[in-house]
Structure 1
Amino acid sequence: MPLLHHEPTGTVRTLEDLLGIATAMERDAVRRYTLLAGLMERRGEYDTAATFRRLVAEEEGHVEAVDGWARTLGLRASDGPEAEALLPPEIAASWRALSERTRLTPHQALSLAVLNEQRAFAFYSYIAAASTDDAIRLRAEELAHEELRHAALLRHDRRAAYHRERRDAKEGPARAETPAELERLVTTLFSAGAAEHAALAAALHALGDASSAALVARIAEDERRFAEPRPGGPAQHPTASDCLRAAFRVSERLAEAFGDVAEHTTDEEVLIRAQHLQELVIGHLTELAERIETLA
C-alpha cells in the first residue's frame, strides 16, 4: 500500500469492528473539514470553503448512513478508543499540518485533503482484501468507493485552486515526468533550500534566539538528506521574526514546487513521491508558523 507507510494494525473480525472504524473515520473527517472551511472563509477563500462545507455535509450523511446500516443489521457501531486505535496514523499526522496556525494556500490544503482521502481508500481496500467475511468485504468496498469519489471531487477543486494561485505567477510550474527527472529536481530544490535555511539558522543564532535557530537548523538538516552540498551566504535580516518569516517563504516555495509536480505528472511513482515530499515540507511550514506566532 504505497499511500500508507505501515499495514493497518489490529484485525477487523466483525461488522461491528468495521462500522466502528467507519464511524470514527467519518466523524474525524467532519471535524477536520469544518475547521478547514472556517479557516478558508476567514481568509476570503470562499470557493475552497464551499468545497469543504460540501464535504462536511457528505461526511455527516455518511455518519447517519453507518448508523442506519448498524440498525438494519441489529448491530451497534462503537466509535470509541478501540476503533480510533485502528485508524491509519498517517491520516492523523498529516491532518495536524492543517491546523489554524498554518499559512497553507487553498491548493496546499486541498492537496493534503486529497492525499488523506486516497489513504482512507487504501485503508478500506486493505480491509476488504484481507477479510474472509463476505459481509465485511462488501461493506469495506462500499466505503472505499466513497473515499475515492471524495478524492476525485477534491482533485477537481484542487486544480481550480492551482490555476487561481498561478494566474499571475511569472514562472512556470515545476514539472517532472519521470522518477529520474524528479530526483534531479529534488536535489536542486533541497540544495537551495538547505543552504538558505542554514544561513538563516546562523543568523538566528547570532541574534541570540537559540530555540528558533535549532528549529531552522533541523529543517536544513532534513533537506540536506536530499541535497548536494552548497554554500549559503550570510542572511541579512534584522530580527528573529524576519529570519523565521524568510525561512517560512523558503519552505513554502518548496511545498509549492512539489505540489506543481504532483499536479501535472502522469507517472504514479512520481505522483506519490512528490506528495510525500510536499507533506514533509508542509510539516516544516507548520512548525515555522507556530514559532512565528510565539514571537508575534
Structure 2
Amino acid sequence: MPLLRTSLLKSEPAGTLQSLGELFALANAMEQEAADRYTGLAAEMQRQEKLDLATVFAELAAAEREHVDSVARWSQSRLGKDPDPAMVRWEAPETFDSETAAEIATSRLMTPYRALSMAVRNEERAFAFWSYIAGFAEDPEIKKAAEAMAREELGHVAILRKERRRAYHSEHDRTRAGQQANAGIVDAAALERCLAIHLAGLERRVEGESVNRARELHRETVEMSALAAGFGQFPAGLEQRDAQAVAEALADAYLDGAERSEEPGRLESLQQLAERAIARLAWLRALT
C-alpha cells in the first residue's frame, strides 16, 4: 500500500467510506469528472484544428461516460437507485492529470501517444485509489466493492496501454518517414542555436521587462548550445518550427535523457539543462 501512495496518488484519501451508497456516489463523481475533462479537451483540440487529438479525447470522453453508466447500473442493482451526489462527504485525491491536461491546451508537439499516456496515468491513479480504499475498508461489503472497482480500472489501464502502443508505432513510423524525407537529423546543440536566433528576434519585438528576460534567455540559450553538443537526435525539419515548438522539443528531450541516464555526471548535466529549458518554455508560453 505505501508504494501505491507514493508512486501514484498525490495524497491519501481524506477518510473512509461508510456505505455502498457513498462508494457509488464517489465513483460516479470521479468518472463524471474524467468525462467532463476529456470532453473539454476534445472541444479545445477541435478549436485548434488538431483533429487527430480531438478524436482521441472524444473517444476517451465516450469511454468515461460508459463508466458513469456502468456505476449507475451497479448502484441500481445493489441499492435500487442511482448514485446520490449528496453522499460524497470528501474530495477524492486527484486522479486526473490536470497538469498534463493544461499542457495539452498549449503544447505545439502534443500527439495521440502522449495524450493516451496521460489517460493511462489517470486510470492507474484510479486503480491505486480504489486499492487504497479496499485496503483500509472495515466493512467487508465495501471492501469487496472497492476491489471490484480496482479490477475495473486495471482493465481500463490494459485497454489504454494497447491503444498507446498502437499510437506509438504509428507515430514512430511517421517520424522515421519524415526524417528520411528531411534527409537528416540534428542534435540538441543545433536546436539551441536555432532557438537563440528566435530569442534574438523576440528581444527586438517585445517591450518592458520582457526585453530583459528575452536578452537573458538568449544568453542562456547560447550557453546551453555548448553544453548540449552531441546530445539527442531530432528531425532536421524541426529547425523550421517556431520558438515554442523548438523549446518544447528540447525540454522534453532533456527530461527524457535525464530519466534514462545512469551516469551521475551526465544525469546532473541533463537535469540542469531540463530545469533551464522548462523555465524558458514557460516564459515563451506566457507570451502567447
Q: How many residues align?
A: 243
Aligned letter for 1:45? D
CA contact (8 A) 1:24 1:80 kept: no
Residue 286 of structure 2 is aligned to residue 291 of structure 1: yes
Structure 1 position 205, deviation (Å): 5.6
CA contact (8 A) 1:108 1:256 kept: no
Structure 1 position 138, deviation (Å): 1.4
Q: Distance in 1 between matches of 2:27 and 2:172?
A: 37
Map 1:190-205 to 2 at 5 A. Answer: 204=202
Matched with 2:159 is 153
Q: Distance in 2 between matches of 1:116 and 1:217?
A: 37
Matched with 1:176 is none
Seen in structure 2, the aligned counterparts of structure 1 residues 34 and 131 have a Cα distance that, compared at 3 Å, is same
Seen in structure 2, the aligned counterparts of structure 1 residues 64 and 77 have a Cα distance that, compared at 3 Å, is same
* Residue among 126, 145, 154 paired with 2:132: 126
Structure 1 position 141, deviation (Å): 1.5
Q: Distance in 2 between matches of 1:116 and 1:284?
A: 26
* Residue among 252, 255, 278 paired with 1:255: 252
Secondary structure at the aligned position of 2:138 is classed as coil
Structure 1 position 22, deviation (Å): 0.6
CA contact (8 A) 2:12 2:93 kept: no
Matched with 1:69 is 74
* Residue among 4, 8, 12 paired with 2:9: 4
Structure 1 position 146, deviation (Å): 1.8
Matched with 1:140 is 146
Matched with 1:30 is 35
Q: Distance in 2 between matches of 1:164 and 1:83?
A: 44
Structure 1 position 252, deviation (Å): 2.9
| Larger RCO, structures 1/2 (Cα 8 Å, 6+ apart) | 1
Matched with 1:275 is none
Q: Distance in 2 between matches of 1:54 and 1:286?
A: 30
CA contact (8 A) 1:37 1:53 kept: yes
The alignment's TM-score, normalised by the length of structure 2, stands at 0.62
Seen in structure 2, the aligned counterparts of structure 1 residues 151 and 193 have a Cα distance that, compared at 3 Å, is farther
Structure 1 position 289, deviation (Å): 7.7
- RMSD, matched Cα: 4.9
* Residue among 50, 58, 63 paired with 1:58: 63
Residue 52 of structure 2 is aligned to residue 45 of structure 1: yes
Q: Distance in 2 between matches of 1:120 and 1:215?
A: 42
CA contact (8 A) 2:34 2:96 kept: no
* Residue among 6, 9, 20 paired with 2:25: 20
Residue 123 of structure 2 is aligned to residue 117 of structure 1: yes
- Unpaired runs of at least 5, structure 2: 178-186, 230-238, 261-274
Aligned letter for 1:108? R
Q: Distance in 2 between matches of 1:33 and 1:79?
A: 21
Aligned letter for 1:31? D
Q: Distance in 2 between matches of 1:289 and 1:84?
A: 38
Q: Distance in 1 between matches of 2:171 and 2:79?
A: 48
Seen in structure 2, the aligned counterparts of structure 1 residues 89 and 111 have a Cα distance that, compared at 3 Å, is closer
- Unpaired runs of at least 5, structure 1: 172-187, 222-226, 233-241, 266-279
Structure 1 position 119, deviation (Å): 0.9
Aligned letter for 2:102? R
Map 1:78-227 to 2 at 5 A. Answer: 78-79=84-85, 82=88, 85-88=91-94, 91-99=97-105, 101-103=106-108, 104-169=110-175, 204=202, 207-209=205-207, 210=209
Matched with 1:224 is none
CA contact (8 A) 1:201 1:214 kept: no
How many percent identity over aligned positions?
31
Residue 243 of structure 2 is aligned to residue 246 of structure 1: yes
CA contact (8 A) 1:201 1:217 kept: no
Q: Distance in 1 between matches of 2:151 and 2:112?
A: 25
Q: Distance in 2 between matches of 1:152 and 1:196?
A: 41
Seen in structure 2, the aligned counterparts of structure 1 residues 137 and 286 have a Cα distance that, compared at 3 Å, is farther
Structure 1 position 251, deviation (Å): 2.2
Structure 1 position 131, deviation (Å): 0.7
Aligned letter for 1:43? K
CA contact (8 A) 2:133 2:146 kept: yes
Seen in structure 2, the aligned counterparts of structure 1 residues 202 and 58 have a Cα distance that, compared at 3 Å, is same
